[in-house]
Structure 1
Amino acid sequence: MRFLPVFSTLLSLGLHLPAANAFVLPPGEKFNLEGRADASDKLVFCHFMIGIVADRTSSADFDSDMQRAKSLGIDAFALNIGVDSYTDQQLGYAYESAANNGMKVFISFDFNWYSASSGASAVGAKIAQYASQSAQLYIGSAVFASSFAGDGVDVATIRSTAGVDVFWAPNFHPGQGDFTQVQGALNWMAWPNNGNNKAPDASGNISVIAGDESYVSVLGGKPLIAPASGWFSTHFGPEVSYSKNWVFPGDLLWYNRWVEILSEKPQYIEIITWNDYGESHYIGPLSSPHNDDGNSKWVNDMPHNGWLDMAKPFIAAWKAGASAPTITSDQIIYWYRIAPSSLDCDATDTTMQAANNASGNYFEGKPNGWQTLEDAVFIVPMLTSAGTIIVNSGGNEYIYNAPAGASAFQVPMGIGSQYFELQRNGASVMSATSLKQILNECPCGIYNFNAYVGTVPEGTRDVLAAAGLTSFANGLKVSCAATPSLATTPPATTAATATSTIGGGTSGPTSTSSASGTTTTTTTAGSTTTTATTTTKGTTTTTSTSTSSAASSTSTLGPVDCSGVVTWTDDTSFDGGSIVQYNGIEYKAQWINYDEEPDQGVNIYYVWQPVGYCE
């Protein structure tokens, strides 16, 4: 199958662009009578890779994708295309399915395949070819079109060849593209990075919002398409011609970014991506029909559907202009990598040989940037009312007093089974043991830095179809069956040997929740001291957790070495995970933080966590 190589500049992120989507309302209520969006409409797009669906045989093969996306509040798929022989057939199917399912689509031209210097006429001709399709996204009277990369393309030629009004919102880069020729622009960099298409390092640490700000500064009031993505991990070895092997920091990025979007309030959002399995930032189902470009080695048995569930109330809140999501039913979303980063898989990994590295994206062994990921389990409780979350990671039990609404926390990764439970007033409300264990072994012999995402209550089992496993064995050095192996029943829960209390009640935006038709406004995170008696698998544990506005008490902190730790200053944006020192105490940012003094602890959106006293 076709692989879209990674663009070697700031945005060489392997190729895919999320597509823009809009306000999800009943049919006919979002777009005007002509089925077109107004210039002021807020739209959510999701990037969809046509390059890995070459074998779809009818529009019906797109129906489940369209229906699932629409139900989440996604307004349009951005259809990433190259110049392959199957492109028009698959575009035709996608446009037909979108029309049948009340969705919109638009073309995102991938300039790994289109030429910025000579491809303008081809881009314009393709826009003209699909402009009259009923599912084509229009902004007013203009056909919406976008790109991956493309700086320097002749926009005037695109417009003249298209012969129609074009709302051109490409992935140009500040300092490279001509932003006077666009109606909007996409920031593709949905992950913290070093400014050179790799994970943050000593050379630089650029947050996603800093990237957004660089676009806003050159757009002159034109709309930004702000990116949202949960993960990035790719691990192609010399078994393919497009070898690449690196990660960007994910961890709690998916949650933190949506909290950030509610504050940032961009007009357009693009989710990266629906089905780019090769770079592990898919949010669509594994079962969505697609070919295997070799990604199945790290995608098999690794669903991401829980990220869809988490995004839905955030999308609704953003469209409504709210500062927090409304939660209508209890759910726990969790994710983690399935092996610790300390594991040595060099003897059997597929990337331990030299490969074509013209892109500069190939590294042998552990993926470049692996040190930026924490060995942790990440949990997002989405609750109609406050409750106690219990997590058992490999026998280490953690108790978290969660507020109503959406909040997030993490616990250290433990080897073994992963158990999650919600309790209220000492009684279990719901619980589940994940189908996927964390093991101290190399999965199929490789370094797999993809994320496993699960939910409580459990969702429908999601597995790859046969076509998604055809290249599974290519390059493997150990015997591993090319078949879905995710259990249908969970493993036994590891007996708890230690219990700890994790903060408690530190949330994102103040949340509104509702259940059984009743709406309740939650207290702002960090406002109370909660005492809860919890019963866990036959063991009763009483915990008292302070969630005062200081984030947590510093009276029990130990000494830490603060040499080399940056001192907090105002007018500075700090990403989640940032370490600073302030007034003799070292703090860690739990979420992205704007001008909030660490000793003030929790504000409406973000929180600093004390680490220790500076020696």
Structure 2
Amino acid sequence: MKKYIQPLLTLVLGVLIASPVGALPVIENTDAADPGNRLVFCHFMIGIVSNRQSAADYDADMQRAKSLGIDAFALNIGVDSYTDRELDLAYESAANNGMKVFISFDFNWYNIGQGSAIGAKVQQYANRPAQLRINNKAVVSSFAGDGVAVNLIRSAAGTDIFFAPNFHPGSGDFNAIDGALNWMAWDNNGNNKAPTPGHNVTVAQGDQAYVAALAGKPYIAPASGWFFTHFGGEVSYSKNWVFPSDLLWFNRWQEILELGPRFVEIVTWNDYGESHYIAPLSSPHTDDGGSKWVMDMPHNGWLEMSRPFIAAYKAASTSVNSYINEDQLIYWYRPTPKDVNCDSTDTTMKGNADNSSGNFFRGRPNGYETMEDKVFVVSLLTSPATIEVQSGANEQSFAAQAGANAFSIPMGVGKQIFSVTRDGHTILSGTSLKDIVDTCICGIYNFNAYVGMLPAEPTIDRLQPAGLAALSQGLSVPCPTNTLGAISSAAVNTDAPRDLSCGD
């Protein structure tokens, strides 16, 4: 299986890169006037589901996404031998579940000289029942691809297509396309890394650049909860960096409600290796080596948190508050403070690593300084209540209003305890399954997020055997498996025998 790695892309935003936040005028998005046609997509990586053998293996993903208000999966494909088989199964499952899908060509594997081949692949699937169509045109997208011959794609497709690729302002030909996807869902330095002093392109500035370049054509705005990747020399696709994430999932949905783009694309459903997944850990997939920082780190709380925001977005509301129908608390945090030193055992500190991409750094991930040592809490409330958070020895209470509110508390080593009280009665309470520790879990730097929620899920979400296959690759210390609800996370970096099973 080939790993879909994010290439070193320069986001061509001209003056945006050098401009301070807020220096540019806000560009009105003309799509906001047409709320009836708003759709939500979610990027789905076919490259890590080669272990799926039937359409039924896709059903749970299709059903859960649809229940949240997600309209279609953008099926990211490369040129792997299993691609057609998995596309067939995904299209079949989508049709069985009343869901829509479309192909997103990944230009890590395709090249811009393959316009006719891309069009021929579109033709294979364009008339399937589950194919998403806009204005009776088959939707086609991409990851990267500036410079591809769009006319060749159209002529080889054998049908009208709505081509909305991940072209970049100032680079791709925006006259030749029907819309465009902005992939950069994280504040960055303009060169695919975390912001640095004097070089900060916010996601909102990226919105402005795309809306301007599209000149009235539909914009696919990105939404993501996190970004962290930590591949060392144990694999050929070494890369190690973070983008500032912290309260990104909450703040970005607020921005989307204000912007009102025609389309939104969640980045991603299941790219576990880059930590921006919202799919359950148990969703069937193979292991590219990311299990080292994904194990015991569910993101399902973000999945559920998106529900009222998606409803508000589709209704063209600038506030989510009227779409909250039950009391919920979503919380997230990294498993260790950022000053914990893992150099002696971390996978990125050993051996030789290929840095031809410019994405590899040793030790803590590039950009780690942009992350805060905090526990983040979002309350979704039907009426005002008091939120109480205990992070280790740190305790704090917050007066939360009805609707959506975000809070944070300094990270403390130990138990993470949460409660919601109203009129003297506790309506929600619980202790997280994941402690914050000051040791190196599995011996590595882990800047992924653990996401929990109240009411808690009835079952513990865990990686399955195929998703754990590469867990021990490159590790220097024992790494007990699937510890949530089984043993204290404080015992993770002990000399206990390594358990590579998936049981409790």
Partner of 2:426: 428
Q: Residues 218-367 of structure 1 correspond to what in structure 2 (within 5 A)? A: 218-325=213-320, 326-353=323-350, 354-367=352-365
Q: Residues 533-548 of structure 1 correspond to what in structure 2 (within 5 A)? A: none
Partner of 2:45: 49
Equivalent residue of 1:313, what SS?
helix
How far does the alpha carbon of each residue in 1:119-167 deviate from its partner, in whole angstroms, 9 at most, with x for none? 1011100110101100000002211000000000000000011121010
Partner of 2:154: 159
Deviation of 1:358 after TM superposition, in Å, equals: 0.3
* Structure 1 residue identity aligned to 2:53: T
Partner of 1:537: none
How far does the alpha carbon of each residue in 1:459-495 deviate from its partner, in whole angstroms, 9 at most, with x for none? 13100000000000000011113x2111159899xxx
Equivalent residue of 1:146, what SS?
strand
Separation in 1, partners of 2:359, 2:120: 33
Separation in 2, partners of 1:401, 1:10: 43
Partner of 1:6: 6
Partner of 1:465: 464
The answer to whether the 8 Å contact 2:35/2:315 transfers is no
The answer to whether the 8 Å contact 1:433/1:490 transfers is no
Separation in 1, partners of 2:133, 2:228: 34
Deviation of 1:5 after TM superposition, in Å, equals: 2.6
Q: In the alignment, is residue 183 of structure 1 matched against residue 178 of structure 2?
A: yes
Separation in 2, partners of 1:69, 1:40: 20
How far does the alpha carbon of each residue in 1:70-124 deviate from its partner, in whole angstroms, 9 at most, with x for none? 00000000000001110000000000000000000000000111111x1101110
Q: In the alignment, is residue 148 of structure 1 matched against residue 146 of structure 2?
A: no
Separation in 2, partners of 1:259, 1:250: 15
In the alignment, which of 396, 414, 430 is matched to residue 394 of structure 2? 396
The answer to whether the 8 Å contact 1:46/1:74 transfers is yes
Classify 1:490/1:347 alpha carbon distance in 2 versus 1 (closer, same or farther; 3 Å). Answer: closer
Equivalent residue of 2:76, what SS?
strand
Partner of 1:58: 54
The answer to whether the 8 Å contact 2:107/2:144 transfers is yes
* Structure 2 residue identity aligned to 1:466: P
Separation in 2, partners of 1:141, 1:391: 50
How far does the alpha carbon of each residue in 1:359-386 deviate from its partner, in whole angstroms, 9 at most, with x for none? 0000000000000000000000111110
In the alignment, which of 67, 86, 89 is matched to residue 90 of structure 1? 86
Partner of 2:64: 68
Equivalent residue of 1:56, what SS?
coil
Equivalent residue of 1:333, what SS?
strand
How far does the alpha carbon of each residue in 1:553-598 deviate from its partner, in whole angstroms, 9 at most, with x for none? xxxxxxxxxxxxxxxxxxxxxxxxxxxxxxxxxxxxxxxxxxxxxx
Greater shift after overlay, 456-465 or 188-197?
A: 456-465
Separation in 2, partners of 1:52, 1:490: 30
Classify 1:119/1:175 alpha carbon distance in 2 versus 1 (closer, same or farther; 3 Å). Answer: same
* Structure 1 residue identity aligned to 2:462: V
Partner of 2:413: 415
Partner of 2:452: 454
Deviation of 1:429 after TM superposition, in Å, equals: 1.3
Deviation of 1:11 after TM superposition, in Å, equals: 5.8
Separation in 2, partners of 1:10, 1:356: 20
Equivalent residue of 1:179, what SS?
coil
* Structure 2 residue identity aligned to 1:458: A
Q: In the alignment, is residue 130 of structure 1 matched against residue 155 of structure 2?
A: no
Separation in 2, partners of 1:150, 1:309: 32
* Structure 2 residue identity aligned to 1:366: R
Partner of 1:566: none
* Structure 1 residue identity aligned to 2:327: D
Separation in 2, partners of 1:11, 1:143: 27
Equivalent residue of 2:233, what SS?
coil
Deviation of 1:427 after TM superposition, in Å, equals: 2.1
* Structure 1 residue identity aligned to 2:64: R
Separation in 1, partners of 2:297, 2:410: 20
Classify 1:490/1:70 alpha carbon distance in 2 versus 1 (closer, same or farther; 3 Å). Answer: farther
Separation in 1, partners of 2:216, 2:244: 30
Separation in 2, partners of 1:377, 1:39: 35
Partner of 1:507: none
Deviation of 1:350 after TM superposition, in Å, equals: 0.3
Partner of 2:15: none
Deviation of 1:323 after TM superposition, in Å, equals: 2.0
Classify 1:126/1:306 alpha carbon distance in 2 versus 1 (closer, same or farther; 3 Å). Answer: same
How far does the alpha carbon of each residue in 1:161-191 deviate from its partner, in whole angstroms, 9 at most, with x for none? 1121010000000111000000000000000
Separation in 2, partners of 1:9, 1:210: 17
Q: Residues 92-111 of structure 1 correspond to what in structure 2 (within 5 A)? A: 92-111=88-107
Partner of 1:386: 384
Equivalent residue of 2:167, what SS?
coil
Separation in 2, partners of 1:489, 1:427: 31
Partner of 1:204: 199
The answer to whether the 8 Å contact 2:297/2:449 transfers is yes
Classify 1:401/1:40 alpha carbon distance in 2 versus 1 (closer, same or farther; 3 Å). Answer: closer
Q: Specify the structure having the higher radius of gyration (Cα).
A: 1
* Structure 1 residue identity aligned to 2:357: S
Deviation of 1:327 after TM superposition, in Å, equals: 1.2
Equivalent residue of 1:200, what SS?
coil
How far does the alpha carbon of each residue in 1:540-562 deviate from its partner, in whole angstroms, 9 at most, with x for none? xxxxxxxxxxxxxxxxxxxxxxx
Deviation of 1:338 after TM superposition, in Å, equals: 0.4
Q: Which has the higher helix share?
A: 2
Structure 1 unaligned regions, length at least 5: 13-37, 493-615
Greater shift after overlay, 408-417 or 194-203?
A: 194-203
Identity of aligned residues (%): 63
Deviation of 1:40 after TM superposition, in Å, equals: 6.0
Deviation of 1:66 after TM superposition, in Å, equals: 0.1
Deviation of 1:425 after TM superposition, in Å, equals: 2.1
Partner of 1:544: none
* Structure 1 residue identity aligned to 2:315: A
Deviation of 1:6 after TM superposition, in Å, equals: 2.3
* Structure 1 residue identity aligned to 2:4: L
Q: Which has the higher strand share?
A: 1
Separation in 1, partners of 2:11, 2:462: 31
Higher relative contact order (CA 8 A, sep 6+): 2
Instruction: List structure 1 runs of 4+ shifted beyond 6 angstroms.
Output: 489-492
How far does the alpha carbon of each residue in 1:275-321 deviate from its partner, in whole angstroms, 9 at most, with x for none? 00000000000000000000000000000000011100000011011
The answer to whether the 8 Å contact 1:234/1:246 transfers is yes
Deviation of 1:39 after TM superposition, in Å, equals: 11
Q: Residues 567-578 of structure 1 correspond to what in structure 2 (within 5 A)? A: none
Separation in 1, partners of 2:337, 2:424: 33
Separation in 2, partners of 1:302, 1:448: 10
